[in-house]
Homo-oligomer: A and B are copies of this chain.
Amino acid sequence: MNEAIFTVNNLWILVSTILVFIMHLGFATLEAGFVQKKNVVNILFKNTMIVVIGLLTYAIVGFNLMYPGMNAGGFFGFSGFGLSLPGGDPIEYAGGNYTYWTDFIFQGMFAATCATIVSGAVAERIKLVPFLLFSAVFVALCYPITGFWNWGGGWLKAAGFYDFAGSTMVHAAGGFAALAAVLVLGPRRGKYTDHGIKPIPGHSMPLATIGVFLLWFGWYGFNGGSVLSANPMGVSLVFVTTSLAAAAGALVAFIAGYLLFKSYDLSMTLNGILGGLVGITAGADQMSPNEAMLIGAIAGAIIPFSVVFFDRRKVDDPVGATSVHLACGVWGTLAVGIFGAKAGLNQVLVQLMGVAAIGAFSFAAAFAIMYALKQTVGIRVSEEEEMIGLDIGEHEMSAYADSPSEQMAMAVS
């Protein structure tokens, strides 16, 4: 390939890597904003460590498990531990669009986002170290295995399943794992009472808003980088569909939220943006702008109903991760069979099969890991710690040192 084209293709995947990296700050601030003041240090700690663990485990085992270098279907493959540049001309690597190092670091940033989805759902009551152990196993083994099924050239790819940037591979996989984790862990104390469901408002709407904008910002790398080159038509169409789906998701979630709850609900609108983004992710390169708006709008409409659905079933998810990532991830994956260039009944069925297979595996694996941790080291903080907050309980500090919880910290210590 032309050296200049190779250089610009490679550069775009590296810039996309940076954009996906900053999504981790987006998740950290979004989740920090949506939890109570007494649990902020804990959620920041978890989200910081997830990037760290994600990158290290992906270097050691995940990358070679997800991309073993065979393209002939199958359920499992592994090409050894660690990273090593394959011999020969890097220009030849991966079809000539980027280097081996670029491939690893872009995919490694992706891998860590999957585990991050879980952290919001289990916030405010899970013990730190068991959660980190869960994340390490999930991102080192579970995500790469299902990732191989499609992106690594496994059986789902052979079957015709299509998931451009990961509505299912990343978001629904993380969402199903979050659901499993919440079921093992149980709701926060006092959330579901005999008198109804108690709202527990997040402590900082500015942090939550910063989080959603950073996620949208990073999504241009998440979806745009998934073109796997800087192809002008490819990347620019993905930018348009991603933007319009996010916007439509927000508008519809805002209106639907108003019709349901008679208030202008900022959290709902922010989650509408995320729902639209998750929804378009599977088919961002397949849709026209109008189709993208429609897919985003439907995702936006799903959000409030999904939030109510999970809440009624006592699935306590402080940040709405199951609604955003699971519900809209499934919707986006199916939408590839309904709209765009691949639409058709057969494609819908293949998409359904892919969602079911990856959902089942991710749910079962997450359930098993969490259950094993629960039976051994325990996963839930004590009732007293949940009351005073995990910041004091797990970290002996408070997020805002002048705040009342700081006074509490002093009183305790």
Question: Which chain A residues have a beta carbon within 8 Å of chain B's beta carbons?
Answer: 2-12, 14-15, 17-19, 21-22, 24-25, 28-29, 32, 36-37, 40-41, 44-45, 48-49, 51-53, 55-56, 59, 82-83, 90, 98-102, 104-105, 108, 128, 201-207, 209-210, 212-214, 216-217, 220, 224, 230-233, 235-237, 239-240, 243-244, 246-248, 250-251, 254, 263-266, 269-270, 273, 289-290, 293, 394-404, 406
Give the distance to chain B from A69, nearest Cβ to Cβ, in Å.
Answer: 18
| Nearest CB of B to A210, in Å | 7
B266 contacts A201, C-beta separation under 8 Å: no
Q: A105 contacts which of B48, B100, B240 (Cβ < 8 Å)?
A: B240
- Contact status of A203 and B101, CB under 8 A, knowing A52-B251, A250-B52: no
Q: Which of B8, B21, B28 contacts A11 (CB 8 A)?
A: B8
Minimum CB–CB distance for A62 against chain B, Å:
13
The one of B24, B90, B250, B396 that contacts A233, using a Cβ cutoff of 8 Å:
B90
- Chain B residue nearest to A97 (CB atoms) is B232
Q: Does A231 contact B7, Cβ atoms closer than 8 Å?
A: yes
Q: Contacting A264 at CB < 8 Å: which of B32, B293, B394, B403?
A: B394
Q: Which of B18, B104, B406 contacts A217 (CB 8 A)?
A: B18
Top 9 closest A-B pairs, CB basis? A4-B4, A101-B236, A25-B213, A201-B401, A10-B232, A102-B236, A205-B399, A52-B247, A55-B247
Residues of B within 8 A of A53 (CB): 247, 251
Q: Given known contacts A201-B401, A400-B204, is B7 in contact with A230 (CB within 8 Å)?
A: yes
Q: Find A4's partner among B5, B25, B55, B251 (CB 8 Å cutoff).
A: B5
Select one of B7, B55, B210, B400 contacting A205, CB under 8 A.
Answer: B400
Which of B83, B202, B213 is the one whose CB lies under 8 Å from A22?
B213
List, in ascending order, chain B residues with CB within 8 A of A270's CB.
Answer: 48
Query: In whole angstroms, what is the CA distance A82 to B294 when docked?
Result: 14
A167 CA to B289 CA, complexed, in Å: 30
Residues on B with C-beta less than 8 A from A248 are: 56
Q: How far is the CA of A6 from the CA of B7 in the complex (A)?
A: 11
Inter-chain contact A243/B90, CB cutoff 8 Å: no
Chain A to chain B contacts (Cβ below 8 Å), 5 pairs: A8-B230, A14-B224, A22-B217, A90-B232, A101-B233
How far is A108 from B236 in the complex, measured between Cα atoms in Å? 13
Among B15, B231, B251, B400, contact of A15 (Cβ-Cβ < 8 Å) = B15
